[in-house]
Amino acid sequence: MTDDAPAPDLRASDADRERVAEVLRDALAEGRLDMEEFQERLDATYQARTYGELAPITRDLPASGTVVAPSVSLTKDPGASGSWADRIVGGDDSGTSTWAVAVMSGFQRKGRWTAPRRFNCFAFWGGGEIDLREANFADREIVINAVAIMGGVDVIVPPGVEVVVRGVGIMGGFDHREEGVPPEPGAPRVIVSGLAFWGGVGVQRKLPRAERQRLREERRREKQALKEELRREHLERAERQRQEHLDSAERHRRELEESRRPHDPLNLHSPHKQHERRPEDR
């Protein structure tokens, strides 16, 4: 198969979906699509699994600045190091763990792990924590289905992740505060669903530990630099005060010498004046 040959069943990469999304954004800016059409096609883009599903989305749109129908690359370009594409593993990866139960106890999923496409958890008189800050994702969209009965479940996501909350609360509740935050390009979507009965499911957005440590180190260096600057200003101020004190003491010494000098209105005792000798003294 050549690179130009159609391969509708070939799995599309996250980079391929981002290229199609960029064409849609350009079409929206040029007025070729209205907002409703743009949103529908964008949702279809991120839900597409194969090139065959991606190709029709932009078939009636020109590529950037040309009238040629946009094509989808059949080769997977490597994502930039540290990008979301590196963390969305895709394929047949079902995740490190797919369920958790806490009955009068607790559970945690944190650190380096792969979040599955669907994670089911149950907490009864207990609590659980699902930390996605350092996790990989089995797909671009994952679902966390949480049931909390007289207990609680906390979901922690990193900045840039899109959050959608669809849970039902009965004498309990789901946290919707992180909904509506614009996601970063290529970032995964986390859907939180389930039931909270006399309990709650919270969603928090926190920085990864490495990023927090980096920011703490930056703040420490800034405080140290500020401390050094204040110390330098204090030393300079002390030196100025010392010099002013010396100058004041010198002025006081001179004034004291002037006050002790004998009164000589004719300046007869001036050491700088020499008396002229009269002719009769010669």
pLDDT digits (tens, 9 = 90+) for 31-44: 788 878 888 888 88
Residue 166 has pLDDT above 80, yes or no: yes
What is the C-alpha separation between 95 and 139, in angstroms, rounded? 10
What is the C-alpha separation between 76 and 217, in angstroms, rounded? 37
Q: Which residue intervals of the chain are DSSP H helices?
A: 14-30, 35-47, 51-54, 84-87, 209-260
Q: Are strands 200-205 and 168-170 parallel, antiparallel or unpaired?
A: unpaired
pLDDT: is 191 or 42 the higher one?
A: 191
Lookup: tokens for 173: 């509740």
Residue with tokens 């090139």: 51
pLDDT: is 71 or 222 the higher one?
A: 222
SS3 call for 147:
strand
pTM score, whole prediction: 0.52
Per-residue confidence band for 77, with pLDDT thresholds at 50, 70 and 90 = very low
Residue of 5, 17, 18, 140 lying closest to 74 (CA atoms) = 5
Residue 115 has pLDDT above 80, yes or no: yes
What is the C-alpha separation between 71 and 63, in angstroms, rounded? 9
Contact 1, 42 (CB under 8 A): no
**Side chain identity at 137, as an amino acid letter?**
F
What is the C-alpha separation between 111 and 54, in angstroms, rounded? 34
Residue 273 has pLDDT above 70, yes or no: no
pLDDT: is 149 or 78 the higher one?
A: 149
Residue 264 has pLDDT above 50, yes or no: yes
Residue of 92, 88, 108, 112 lying closest to 100 (CA atoms) = 108
pLDDT digits (tens, 9 = 90+) for 211-241: 777 777 777 788 888 888 888 888 888 888 8
What confidence score (pLDDT) does residue 61 get? 83
> What average pLDDT does this structure show over 247-263?
79
Number of alpha carbons in the 13 Å side-chain half-sphere of residue 62: 9
Please tell me the least confidently modeled range out of 25-34, 53-62, 65-74, 139-148.
65-74
